[in-house]
Amino acid sequence: MKFDLDTAWKEAAGLLSRNLGLLAIIAGVFFFLPYAGIAIGLPEMGDLEAAQASGNVDAMMAVVTDLYVGYWWVFLILGLVQGIGLLAMLALVRRRANPTVGEALSTGARSVPSYIGAQLLQTGLIVIVATLFVGIGAVTGLQPLAALGGVIAFVVVCYIVVKLSLAAPIIAIEGELNPVKALTRSWALTRGSSMRLLVFYLLLIVAFVVLSAVVSLVLGLVFAFAGEQAAMLGEAVTSGLINAVMIVAMVCVLAAVHTQLSRFANGRAESTED
């Protein structure tokens, strides 16, 4: 059996409609408020937005570097908080025991070290692969080979991200706390469905980027009429809102994909036993 995009989308929409209230509360507390708070509270965020608007990549990277060096502890706390929120929402929408919000949050807090471990392992693998392919092209000194290495690295990284995309649902829903086993199971579950998953994720990303751009533009214009301070506050609120909505949608999509591919895996196992 192959992964079905339409079925996954319908299941994701169903999860969203059934759990919208609780998901909105968790997303608001763990994603909207922290993200908007950082956007408002850190003055350097304004410098980053100015650098992004200028289109100067070097200036933008310099601001990003200074931001993370100066406030690494803030982003560490933010990562922990958002990791707990993400895992709690996944547990809430798909745990068979129908957990309460408190139980889902407890699952998120208990599982977040495993999630962070899986993310670090995935990031390490991506860095190694990207460095290998880009480095080989760069060592030759030939521009075409360097460009080809970059393209190959991008394709391979996309493949790895898709193959390991179910690590969070496996940790939160199945209760697998070993990050290596979570990544291994994600790789196994996505076997034979990688290309369909890539297309599914890309379609959702494109749709969300377009929608968020329209929302940002409209709300940005509305707040701009109220003055400079209101515009800055409005941009922070809008960014936090878009971030929270994206996470809620991602949770429902990942839970639906995990459910469908787990069903296929269980069916293959039963067929083998028979």
Q: What is the pLDDT of residues 13-71, one digit of tens each?
A: 999 998 999 899 999 999 999 888 887 777 666 666 665 655 666 666 777 777 777 77
Indicate whether 18 belongs to any domain.
Answer: yes
pLDDT for res 185: 96
Residue 117 pLDDT class (50, 70, 90 cuts): very high
In this predicted structure, the answer to whether residue 274 has a pLDDT above a threshold of 50 is no
Q: What is the pLDDT of residues 177-187, one digit of tens each?
A: 999 999 999 99
**What own/partner pairs with CB < 8 Å and gap ≥ 24 does 168-171 have?**
168/86, 168/87, 168/90, 168/115, 168/118, 168/254, 169/90, 169/94, 169/254, 169/255, 169/257, 169/258, 170/258, 171/87, 171/111, 171/114, 171/115, 171/118
Indicate whether 77 belongs to any domain.
Answer: yes
The number of distinct structural domains making up the chain is 1
Indicate whether 273 belongs to any domain.
Answer: no
Q: What is the pTM for the complete model shown? A: 0.87
> Which residue segment(s) compose the domain that 33 sits in?
5-268
Indicate whether 274 belongs to any domain.
Answer: no
pLDDT for res 221: 79
Q: Which H helix or E strand runs over 183?
A: helix 179-189
